[in-house]
Each structure stands twice: as C-alpha cells, then as structure tokens.
Structure 1
Amino acid sequence: MMNREEIIALLKPIVITYAPPSAALDHINEESDFITDLKINSANLVDIVLDVEEKFDITIDNQSMEKMLTVKAAIDVISDKLNEK
C-alpha cells in the first residue's frame, strides 16, 4: 500500500500540468488548496481527477470528487480508494 508521501509524489506532476505558472507550485503540500493556492479552475479540477483515476487505477465518484478541494483531501480520497481495491 502507498503512503502519503508516495501519493503526493505522484499527485504533484498531475497538478503542475494544470496550474498556471503563477501558482505556488514549489510549495505544494497537504494544506494547499487547489483553487485558492494553486489557482486551478473547476474545469481543470475535473481533469486532475480523471488523471488521478488513470494514474492510480481507481474510480472517484462525484461525492468524493466534491471533497477534493485541497491536496490533503485528494490524498485522503486516493488513499481510501486504494484501500478499497
């Protein structure tokens, strides 16, 4: 099973793909908010979720997707889905 550090290491490159250059990408951590800190719009959040599903081979339902507003929440959702496999 993956730990939080492994998940965030795989999550960062996905997030960076969709964040504008002005975002605080060097400082992505569990407290980072996708919209306010990383300047990711809601359409790109959906793209991130799709990429996460592919990368981790999981399915993220709408209820879980709505929770994924911070890096910590995304890690929690990914971790939960991996544990369900």
Structure 2
Amino acid sequence: MTKEELIPKLKNIIAPYVQDEEAFKNLNEDTDFVKDLKINSANLVDIILDIEDEFDIRLENEDMEQMLDVKSAMEIINSKLES
C-alpha cells in the first residue's frame, strides 16, 4: 500500500486520540505518536487494536514496541499485508 493511501487511513485511526491538534494537521512520516501528537500509552494500545481491525492484520508485541511514529507504523503495516 502506498504512502498516499496509508497516511489518510492512519489519520482516521489516530484522530480520536490526538492531544495536539496542530501537530496532527501537519502529520507526516516523521510524526511521533507520543512526542508530537501527545498520545498516551493507553491510547497507543487502542490505536494498535484499531490498526489490526482496519487492515485485518495481527501485530505481535515486538511490532507494537516499534510502532512509535507514522513511518514505522506504515512499514509494519505494509510488511504484515505482504506476508
């Protein structure tokens, strides 16, 4: 899935949990979920569950630990979709 297809889907998933609206408006590959969007760890788990549902994939613990920014989320989603 291309970046252009993936980022809007991720934005829809992340939107309910964002604490920094300004950073969310400028969301890109380098956006960090915790540092930039001020998403807490409990909500990060919710996002991961939402990603699993949206893309019909299963994320392992090590995937979740690495999913700290938009770029890593896209890489993990794409690798799961390919396998």
- Which band: TM-score by shorter chain? over 0.9
Task: Give the distance between the partners of 1:75 and 1:22, measured in 2 at CA.
Answer: 21
Give a deviation string over 1:26-63, Cα, whole Å, max 9, x none: 00100000000000001100000000000000001000
Task: Give the distance between the partners of 1:83 and 1:23, measured in 2 at CA.
Answer: 33
Q: TM-score, normalised by structure 1?
A: 0.92
What is the RMSD computed on CA atoms of the aligned residues? 1.1
Matching residue of 1:63: 62
Matching residue of 1:30: 29
Q: 1:22, CA displacement in angstroms?
A: 4.4
- Identical positions, percent: 51
- Which amino acid is the alignment partner of residue 25 of structure 1? F
Partners of 2:20 and 2:37 within 8 A in 1: no
- The alignment covers a number of residue pairs equal to 83
Matching residue of 2:73: 74
Could you list the runs of 4 or more consecutive aligned residues of structure 1 that deviate by over 2 angstroms after TM superposition?
none
Matched, 1:50 2:74: no
Task: Give the distance between the partners of 1:31 and 1:67, measured in 2 at CA.
Answer: 14
Higher relative contact order structure (alpha carbons within 8 Å, sequence separation ≥ 6): 1
Matched, 1:19 2:13: no
5+ long unaligned stretches in structure 2: none
Q: TM-score, normalised by structure 2?
A: 0.94
5+ long unaligned stretches in structure 1: none
